[in-house]
Every structure is written in structure tokens, then in C-alpha cells.
Amino acid sequence: MTYNIGLIGAGMYGKVLGRCLQRDERARITWVNSASETTTRSAAKEFGVEKWSLDYRNVLADPALDAVIIATPPYLHAEQLEAALAAGKHVLLEKPLAESLQSVEKIVETAAKYPERVVLEASCRHTRLTRKFQFIKNLIESGKLGQVYHIHHNHLNRSTFIEWNPKGAWAMNKALAGGGPFIDWGVYDLSFHLGLLDDQPELLSLRRFSRNDLRDVSKLVAFSDVEQHGAAWLEFSGGLTYYYERGAGVHAETANETRLYGSQGGLRFQFPSWDSNEVEFFYTQDGEPRKETLAIDATGAEDDSLAIIRHFLNCIEGKVRPMMTVGTAAKHMRILFQILEQ
């Protein structure tokens, strides 16, 4: 079966997902929408689509449409998701889930009203859909680490979102984006790390800091109030602790690295699929410290964005359940907003 799919949000990442849709014979792009006529026309031309509109409601009004990808800024997600589900469409909702706790709760409430519709949230893209995630999860479930009692993760960049995407001024405004690196990348961090433990740990307490006075980005964007550096010490049920640090615009650089500590062994790795496919395994044998470097076979692995499109279509066909529901994504967002004291 071929599914008719509309793009709501045809900016940089909307186009990435659109190109991936074209690589799966089960999907056909039939509508394109964004707020800019130039952007919308450009996407419609690229994908060979006749139907386009600056009003997403026109997309949803098409009875022949089966599903939509919502790849708009987070402050639009709650409204657009509600309209899409009410119109009977399945939804792939781009991360982050929403710009505020109020919108997060509205999205959870809305999705619960339409259990027959697939709603896949995109923070599983670089995380739960990757071979690296499954490899590490299998290691934990094998018992080789014993009980995982501590997670340490940090990633610091001197550059900011606006330097990566000069057209993404909205992402520098908390009212539109929710926050900076903790919202942009934090959804991936928690999706990966807490997913390794089946999202069972419940947050009990946290201590945190964040600041946004490190770099003057006024030459790059007219307005910016998102955090540039922050860290948190989180305590979870079951005795799990988690030191978590992120920065974009901070005066230092630290590669994306995770360390997991267990009662019988530990791991050090970089979770993004484009980083090293080696995992360092630390343990003791005969009372002596040992270390092995484990290689993950990534031969033939699909691009992460293509993988999430395939997963979305598999969910629509009923073959699998969504690897990231809005309920689980909301759990992560609540933690991130606490770190940012929102």
C-alpha cells in the first residue's frame, strides 16, 4: 500500500525527511506546507508536488491524505498535532516535543484522545533506532555491567544553533523553542540514556545551573535568550544518579561522551551514529582491572533520518509500535524543563 503524506514545515529538516520519504516506495508526498511562500514553492518543486499551501489546515482538509510530518518550530506543535489527529491523520512529530510544560501536557492529553492514530515523536532518530543503542542495551541486559548506578554525560561546543542553521532564529528564542542545547539535544540524550534502562527510573531530585551570558551573538541573530551552558546532578529511583552537562556557546569544547558505571563493569562511548562505533568495556577479572574495546558492526546501517521514516511507515502498517511515544517524550521534557527551571 502507498500512503499519501503531507509535509507541514518544509524548512531544512522538513526537506531532509521529505527526501527520505522519496526513498521508500510505501510513501508519496502529496502536500507541502510552510509559513514562507518561497520555502514552500521550493519544496514543492523539489518533491514534484502540485498541492502546496501556506495554511496547514488546507493540507489536513484533504481526505486522501493518510499522514503528516510536522517539522515546524516547537511552539506550533500542540496546535498542529491536535488539528492533525482530529482530521484523522497519523503523525510523525519532529523533536523537541514542545516549547513549554503547558504545551507538553496538552500534547499528551490530545494524543490520548486518539489511540487509534500513530503518533511517533522524533527523538528516537539518533537513539533508539540505532544499532549502537541496541548493542549497548543488550550488554546491560546481559548482566555484564551488573546494576547500572551512575551515568555521566557531557558535550560542550563553542558554536551555537544559529551558526549551524543561520535561518533558525526561532531556535534562539525560549518562547518559540523552549530552550537551547538542553532542549535541542537533551531530548536525544535522555532518549538514549534512560531508554537503556527502559525508562524505568523516576526522577526524585536535581541540582542544576544554567547561564546565557557567555557569548554575544547579537551579530548573528536579533534576539537570543536560550541557555549557553548548564549542568545538573539528578537522582532517580533505584539509586541511579546522573551527571549531565551541555553547552552551545561555552568557552570550551568537550566531545559527546557517555560513561555508564555498573556494579560489575562500566562503558565509555559516544552515542551519535556518526561518532565512533567502538565501545570501551571496563571490568575486573581475577581481581585485576581489565578493558576491552568492543566494535559495533554498522555495515549496511541506514541513515538515521531514513530509519525513522521507515519506522513511521512500519508503525502505520501495524508492524511495530512507536519507539518514542509522546508520553515517554513528555517524561524527558519534564526533566529538561526542570533543569532550565521552567
Q: Enter the pTM of the model.
A: 0.97
pLDDT tens per residue across span 241-288: 999 999 999 999 999 999 999 999 999 999 999 999 999 999 999 999
Mean pLDDT of 213-232: 97
| pLDDT higher than threshold 90 for residue 294 | yes
Return the pLDDT at 342: 76
User: In the sheet where 265-269 sits, what is the strand order?
Assistant: 203-211, 229-236, 241-248, 148-157, 254-262, 265-269, 278-285, 288-295
User: In one letter, which amino acid is 132?
Assistant: K
What is the domain partition of the chain in residue ranges?
Answer: 3-122, 131-304+331-339
Q: 74: cis peptide before it, omega within 30°? A: no
Mean pLDDT of 181-194: 98
Return the pLDDT at 286: 94
pLDDT tens per residue across span 109-151: 999 999 999 999 999 999 999 999 999 999 999 999 999 999 9
Architecture of domain 131-304+331-339: 2-Layer Sandwich (3.30)
Mean pLDDT of 90-107: 98
CATH number 3.40.50.10680 given to 3-122: no
- Mean residue pLDDT across the chain: 97
Q: Following DSSP, what letter does each residue of 245-303 receive, concatenated?
A: EEEES-SS-EEEEEEEEESSEEEEE--STTS--EEEEEEEETTEEEEEEEEP--TTPPP
pLDDT tens per residue across span 48-85: 999 999 999 999 999 999 999 999 999 999 999 999 99
Q: Are 132 and 326 in contact (CB under 8 A)?
A: no
